[in-house]
A = this chain, B = another copy of it.
Amino acid sequence: MTEGWQSYRTEKLPEATVLRLGLYQRVLAEFARARRTTISSDELGRHTGENPANVRKDLSRLGTLGTRGTGYDVGTIAARIDEVFATSTPRRVVVVGLGNLGRALVRSRSFFQQGFEVAALFDSSPAVVGTTVAGHVVQPMESVTPEVEALGARFGVLTVPPEAAQDAVERLVRGGVGYIVNFAPKLLQVETTVVVRYVDLSIELQMLGYVEAQGLRSTTSSSIGSSGRQLGSPSAEVLS
């Protein structure tokens, strides 16, 4: 994609790797701010709670980027990860549902980053429609499909109550949205071309409740929860 520079034909990365690349990115940004030019898999592992072997495996999937005996160049891998996420392509995201969570996400600095930008906001409540949230005037549900289409938005965030989720997603998809983060605890019926990530915040506390009830303890304090992979996700998640 850039001349004089090999453009790796990155094959489909494992979901777990993609999830971790985001973590690495953050640590790399910290290192860059601290004017550190080099980082080892060991350091990256210590800052993310990941096994260094796993870090190397993840990074090696992006190409041969490290230098034996030295480590990785901070700028090089940061740029490579940005490339994988295509952060330079601006992506318009619409948000449906401006209750507490929707507002929090729209206002937060961290949710929309890396090339994502809020393009429009929608809500079903007449009390909310017409108000301004984070610089955007909230529009009614009837406007979802035409607006999404007009904006060419491909990404949607669903922060509506579960009963409203199916209707909302249909409006989004009709307008052309193909990638959705769904915070409503409800399985959505969508065409198989539409990619949905399900995020369920209440499950995290419940999981801790289980761990306490069992009197179990983690031995190492590691890693991340996609908030969802977590399991993933943790988490069984869409993709592949």
Contact = CB atoms under 8 A, between A and B. Distances in A.
Nearest to A180: B208
5 contacts: A16-B231, A99-B104, A194-B221, A195-B217, A234-B236
B234 A225 contact: yes
Contacts of A227: 199-201, 203-204, 225-230, 233, 235
A216 interface: yes
A86 to B, nearest CB: 4
A240 to B, nearest CB: 7
A171 interface: no
Total identical chains: 2
A165 interface: no
Contact of A226 (B86, B100, B235): B235
Interface of A: 10, 12-13, 15-16, 18-20, 22-23, 26, 47-50, 84-87, 89, 91, 93, 99-101, 103-105, 107-108, 110-116, 154-155, 157, 178-181, 185, 187-190, 192-214, 216-240
